[in-house]
Amino acid sequence: MKRLKFERILGVGLFLFVWEITARSKILFFLGIIKMEALAFPPTIPSVIWAFYQDIMSGTMILSIGYSIIHLLIGLVLAVLLGVPLGVLTGWSRRAEYIIDPIIQVMRPIPPLAWIPIAIMMLGLTHQAAGFIIFIGAFFPVLVNTYSGVRSTDPRLVEMAKTLGATEMQVLTKVVLPYSTPMMTAGIRISLGVGWMCVVAAEMFGVSTYGLGYKIPYYSNILMYNYVFAYMLTLGLIGYIMDTMFKRLESWKLRWRETI
C-alpha cells in the first residue's frame, strides 16, 4: 500500500516537473507546436498558483465554484428523480417500454450542447437554463443503467418470490429494486461525471454568466492563461473529489454485496 502511494506521488511529481520544464524552456515554441514565443504556453506552476490565490482571496473563485455546483445539483437531482422511476417502469413493464423506448432512442443521441439555444430561448441566462443542459446530459445514463439493472434481475429470484406468494409490488420492491441497486448507483456515478462536464460546456457557451466554465473563456479572451489553467485544474480537482466521495458512499451503502 505504501509503495502504491509512493508511486502515485511520484507520478504527480513527474507530471508537475515536465509541466514546469516545458513552460520555462519554451520547448513548445522551439518544436514548432506553437507559433508565438510571447505566449509562453503553458504558464508556469507558480503563476497558476498565484492566479488561484488571487481569485480565492477576492472571492471570485469561491463564487464561481458555488454557482457551478448549484447548476450541477439542479440538473443531477432532476435527472435522478426522473431517470430512476422511468428506468424502473420501462424495465419492469413491457408495455411501458414499447411506448416510451422509441422516444428515448430518438432523444438520447442528441448532444446536450445542441439544447443550448432551446435552453436560452425558454429560460434565458439563468441557473435553470444551465441546470436544464446538465439534466439532459445526466438523465440518460441514469435511465439506461436503471433499466439494465431491472432487466438483469435473476428470473429465478422473481419466480421464487412469486411461488412464496409475493405480489407484483412486493417482487418489485423486495427483489428487483435491491438487485438492481448497484447498476442504478453506477448510472448515477456516470451521470455525476457527465453532468460536471456539461456544467463547464453550458457555462462556456453562454447559458449562464456565472460559474467556473464561464471564467475560462473570459480569462482566455484577455490572454490571462495562468487564470485559465487555475480554473481548469479547479474543475478537475472538484470532479475528482466528487467522484471519490461518491465511490466511498457507494461502497458503504452496498457493503452487503461483500457477504454474498
Helix residue spans in the chain (DSSP H): 2-25, 27-30, 45-58, 60-92, 94-107, 116-123, 127-151, 155-163, 168-171, 177-204, 212-221, 225-253
- What the chain holds in terms of domains, given with CATH numbers, is 71-96+106-251 (1.10.3720.10)
What would the mean pLDDT of 32-53 be, rounded to a whole number?
A: 69
Closest by CA to 71, choosing from 210, 240, 199, is: 199
How far is residue 201's CA from residue 137's CA, in Å, rounded to a whole number?
A: 11
What would the mean pLDDT of 126-152 be, rounded to a whole number?
A: 86
The pLDDT of residue 260 is 47
Condensed to tens digits (0 to 9), the pLDDT of residues 220-240 reads 888 888 888 889 889 988 988
Residues 6+ away with beta carbon under 8 Å from 177: 88, 150
Q: Which three cell numbers stand for residue 78?
A: 432532476
Task: Give yes or no for residue 167 having a pLDDT over 50.
Answer: yes
How far is residue 191's CA from residue 147's CA, in Å, rounded to a whole number?
A: 15
Task: Give yes or no for residue 81 having a pLDDT over 90.
Answer: yes
Task: Give yes or no for residue 257 having a pLDDT over 70.
Answer: no
> Who wins on pLDDT, 92 or 133?
133
How far is residue 241's CA from residue 256's CA, in Å, rounded to a whole number?
A: 25
The pLDDT of residue 222 is 83
Grid-cell match 480554473, residue found? 231
Whole-Å CA distances, 218 to 131, 176, 222, 246: 21, 49, 7, 31
Among residues of the chain, what percentage have pLDDT more than 90?
A: 6
Condensed to tens digits (0 to 9), the pLDDT of residues 98-131 reads 888 888 888 888 888 888 888 888 877 777 888 8
